[in-house]
Every structure is written in structure tokens, then in C-alpha cells.
Structure 1
Amino acid sequence: QICDDGTIVLRSGNIQDGKISFSDIVRVNAPIKESLFVKEDDILMCSRNGSASLVGKVAMIPDINEPMTFGAFMTIIRSAEAKYLYLYFQSQDFRERVSEGKSSTMNQITQKMLDKVEVPFPDKDVRETLSAIASQADKSKFELKQCIEHIDKVIKSLING
């Protein structure tokens, strides 16, 4: 039952630009099995959606300060190599492998489909370099977003005199 003070249920809408967004949360007041709570560095994946473009969308679970679970059309991937897998799941190579090269739109990703995907695993130093590049790209993206917001404010103040 949906309520105001229960456990957060993460859904596809909570994945925004590869990150977890808490701007639109749903809470439920129901008993939840321990195995269904998310943990830091889990990968949350949208495994089914009416919109095929959202299927396969992923985000890393950040350091969270309250118990959270995930919705019915979501999957959690837990691995010691989560940071690399998070990057890989966003690649075109993953989309092609998980759909077995079918050009038709993918409306779901099942556990069976995930189990069949052969993930290319480069050496540890290459994986760490990829993670470092991705982290730097995230920082640059954040800084650019802040600059754009600042420019917007300046333009609005100039227009409004």
C-alpha cells in the first residue's frame, strides 16, 4: 500500500541521466524481504517498460541513509565489478549482445537474457582507467551544467533589466 512514511520503492523514473533521482518517490507500507533491499554500489536496471527506450537504463545505488527496495519492472545487479558493469551496461555493445543482435525494439531484459551476455572484461588497469575517465566526465558534465545555469541567470537578469 502506497503511503507517506514507508519504504522507498525505486522505479524507472528514479533513474535520471545514469543517476538515482529522488525527485519523484513512492513509498510503500508493507513487509519487505531482506534480500529485496538495495545496497550501495548495486546497479539498478529498468528491465521492463512500456517505453522500449527506457529498457536497460541503469544507475548505481549511492550511499543511502534509509532502507530502499525496487519495483517489479526493475532488476538489481550486485557485483565486485559493479563500476565497470555500470559503464558496460550503458554501451551499444551491451544492447546488441543482450538483444542477440535483433534489430527489433527491446521491451524487456530478463534474467535469462542477462545470463547469456558474455561481458568483455579487460585487464584490471584498463577497467580502472575507464572508471577514472567516466568519473572525470561526470565531474566535467556537472561543472558544465553549473556554468549553463549561471549563464541562464545572467541572460535573464539582462533581459529583465
Structure 2
Amino acid sequence: MSISKIRFKGYDNSLERKTIGDITTSFSGGTPKSSNKTYYEGNIPFIRSGEIKSKQTELFISDEALKNSSAKMVEKGDILYALYGATSGEVAISQINGAINQAILAIKPNSGYFSEFIMNYLKKEKDNILEKYLQGGQGNLSAAIVKSIELHLPSQEEQSVIGSLFSTLDDLLASYKDNLANYQSLKATMLSKMFPKVGQTVPEIRLDGFEGEWKIKELGEVIKFYSGLTYKPSDVLSSGTLVLRSSNVREGELIYIDNVFVDPGIVNCENVKLGDIVVVVRNGSRDLIGKHALIKSEMPNTVIGAFMTGIRCDNPEFINALLDTKMFIYEINRNLGATINQITTGNFKKMKFYFPLTDEQQAIGSYFSNLDHLIVAHQEKISQLETLKKRLLHDMFI
């Protein structure tokens, strides 16, 4: 008999084999006629398949729309299963009372069975379900398919305990994600208020103890620029000198995936140093120009690629924050080549920004560095919790 790898203490190994249809009731909804605009002027949230995990919906329908269509009401706590399109196989516990369309199957457990347990089982089985019923990603799932899915059920008490565990994990994840969103929103707000706006020489919000106008300077006056390494495919090795490229920069941080190493003997450019900022200055995608990351630790035997520029300065945390502002994005767009997505070093040096005195630069840099640390810490915690949840889904269900 199959046994899950992880079981709570005190429960025996007996499992009951059932289908989703055996232990639940289910139904799909419909879509009110879009030609009747009054149908979409009500206050009933209209949940579509891309919104099954959300507390909000883009559309709302009226009581009349509900009455004159196949749309059906679901309650907070019902299981919502996406049947169609790109979201096929996605599943969640409804966060709201609302109406659903035909692309969603609402699932209500019978007495003695638990939404959290069933939902997490379906989540764990998503890839297997899609592979079995949607080979090549074509077609749609159906209520009949979902109801035929088999699962192995422990006792009702153990189902409840397992469901509670995953509910707690989901709540913890949601809390970290909410905090992350708040920190990211705070950073965006403060970047717009702690640097002078166009036509102004002082910021809207200033840290205590600082006054006086900021002075306009070209970046070339305060920053040393250095170029990256040009190499051939034959120079690439399985180990050697690490070459940082655009793929190593994500959301203002260095990541170490898709790494490229080259023969140290061909390196003819500067090694990156603690406090340097690496910036993408040429790329096939215009949106990636200006993407940057601060070097936060010593990185011996590491250089940047030819489509990157290195920045070295006295107050790197301030400059790193400056490069996060909309003013920098404006300067990038103003200086991009007409046919090649590139910022030349000459144009980079000539970009003009307002600068405070050194002490204020350091204080502003520290403020945003602390914010970045909180953001990264929350991102790492979210990643750890998601990895833990994925492992538990794999090991606690058969």
C-alpha cells in the first residue's frame, strides 16, 4: 500500500481511496451577455479564472445579470478550480463571495471532508493532471475530468490537521508578501520624494539635520566608469573567471544562474570590487537597459561582460538609489540609440542629476540600503516558505 513520506505522529497508515466526485458537489458558472452594459454595473464580484486567488475582481455584475445568465454564486471558502486556457489546473480557496463564469469549477466538500486538504491535493497534482488530460497544452479540462480524479484520504482528523498546516503556511506566505509589497511601495514613494523633482533643487522629504540646495552635476564628475570583457565562445570554460551579464542582475540584486566562466588568461579588464555598481548598457530588450546591482561583497576573479558598464564612486549606496529613480529612467530613454538599444559611456557620463553634500548622500544611501535589505530578506523568506510548501505537498500526499 502506498504511504505518504511524512505523516503526523499518532495516525495510522490506513488510507481511503475516493474520487473528487465521491466526496464533493461541484458546479460551473456562465457569463452574462456583454452587450447588455447594465449587467456589468452591479456590485457582485465576477470572478474569472485568473482571479481565483484574489480578494478583488476587475468586473462586477448585477442581480439581474445573475438571474438572466448561467453565472452562479460561490462563497468564501469554496474551492475554485480553473478549467480553461492559460490558468488550467490552477486551484485556490475563494477569498470572497462572488459569481463565477464557465471557466471555473466550484467545489464544495461533503460533510466530513476538508477544503484545504482537497485544494492542496489538487495543487500538488496539477502537473500530472495537465500532462494526462491536456497533452501538448491543447484543449480544456472539464467538470467530469476533475470529478474523476482519485485521491488517497487519511482519517477526517488527519485531513483537518494537514489542511490546517497548509492554511497556516499560506497565511504566513500572504503576510510576508503583503509586507514585501508595503516595503516596495514605500521605496517607490520615497524615491520620488527624497530626490528633487524636475525644476526643483531640494527634495520634498528630507532627512533630519540637512538643509541647503542640491547642486547639479554630470555623472562623469562623481563616478569612474569601466568597461567589460569581450570574449569568444572558445574562451568559455566550466570554471574560471566569472563574467557578470544582464542575466545575473534581477530586481536590483545579483543572482547566480546561467553563469558564464572564461579562461582567466584572456581577461583584460578590471575585476569588480566591493561597492561597485554594475549596469546593463546594451541589450536586445530596451526595458533591460539601466538594470543594475550593487556589489555587496568581495568577488575575486569576477568581471563584467561587454554589454555592461562598471561604476566606482565614493558613495555607492546613494548612486545605487539614484539609479532606481524615474529620473534615471527618463535619462536612459532620452539617450538610447535610435537603432541599437545602448547607452554609450559618453552619454552616461553626461547625464545630469542633483547632488547634496557628502553627509546627506551617505544618509540617503543608508536609508535606501536598509530598505533594500528588508526587501531582500522578505523575498528570501518567501522563497524558503514556497520551497518548504512544495516539499510538503510532495511528501504529505500520495
Separation (CA, whole Å) in 2 of partners of 1:150 and 1:15: 20
| Structure of larger gyration radius | 2
Given the alignment, which residue of 70, 74, 80 partners 2:314?
A: 80
In the alignment, is residue 57 of structure 1 matched against residue 295 of structure 2? Answer: no
Separation (CA, whole Å) in 1 of partners of 2:340 and 2:333: 7
In the alignment, is residue 130 of structure 1 matched against residue 364 of structure 2? Answer: yes
Aligned-residue offset at 1:98? 3.8
Aligned to 2:266: 31
SS class of match (1:78):
strand
Aligned-residue offset at 1:22? 1.6
135 and 157 in structure 1: CA distance in 2 versus 1, 3 angstrom threshold: same
Separation (CA, whole Å) in 1 of partners of 2:389 and 2:355: 46
Deviates more, 1:44-53 or 1:17-26: 17-26
In the alignment, is residue 17 of structure 1 matched against residue 258 of structure 2? Answer: no
Separation (CA, whole Å) in 2 of partners of 1:4 and 1:130: 41
Separation (CA, whole Å) in 1 of partners of 2:260 and 2:390: 37
Aligned length: 159
Aligned-residue offset at 1:64? 2.6
Aligned to 2:330: 96
Q: What residue ranges of structure 1 are gaps of 5+ in the alignment?
A: none
SS class of match (1:119):
strand
Aligned-residue offset at 1:62? 2.6
Report the residue type matching 1:31 in the other structure: I
Report the residue type matching 2:249 in the other structure: I
2:318–2:361 contact (8 Å) kept in structure 1: yes
Aligned-residue offset at 1:51? 0.8
Please give the TM-score of this superposition, normalised by the length of structure 2.
0.36
SS class of match (2:371):
helix
Given the alignment, which residue of 345, 348, 371 partners 1:114?
A: 348
133 and 14 in structure 1: CA distance in 2 versus 1, 3 angstrom threshold: same
Separation (CA, whole Å) in 1 of partners of 2:274 and 2:335: 32
Separation (CA, whole Å) in 1 of partners of 2:342 and 2:319: 19
Aligned-residue offset at 1:61? 1.7
SS class of match (2:293):
strand
Separation (CA, whole Å) in 1 of partners of 2:326 and 2:290: 11
In the alignment, is residue 6 of structure 1 matched against residue 229 of structure 2? Answer: no
In the alignment, is residue 43 of structure 1 matched against residue 277 of structure 2? Answer: yes
2:317–2:368 contact (8 Å) kept in structure 1: no
Separation (CA, whole Å) in 1 of partners of 2:340 and 2:368: 26
66 and 157 in structure 1: CA distance in 2 versus 1, 3 angstrom threshold: same
Output the aligned Cα RMSD. 2.8
Separation (CA, whole Å) in 2 of partners of 1:31 and 1:154: 45
Between the aligned residues of both structures, percent identity stands at 28
Deviating 4+ runs (over 4 angstroms): 149-161
Please give the TM-score of this superposition, normalised by the length of structure 1.
0.82
Matches within 5 A, 1:135-146: 135-146=369-380
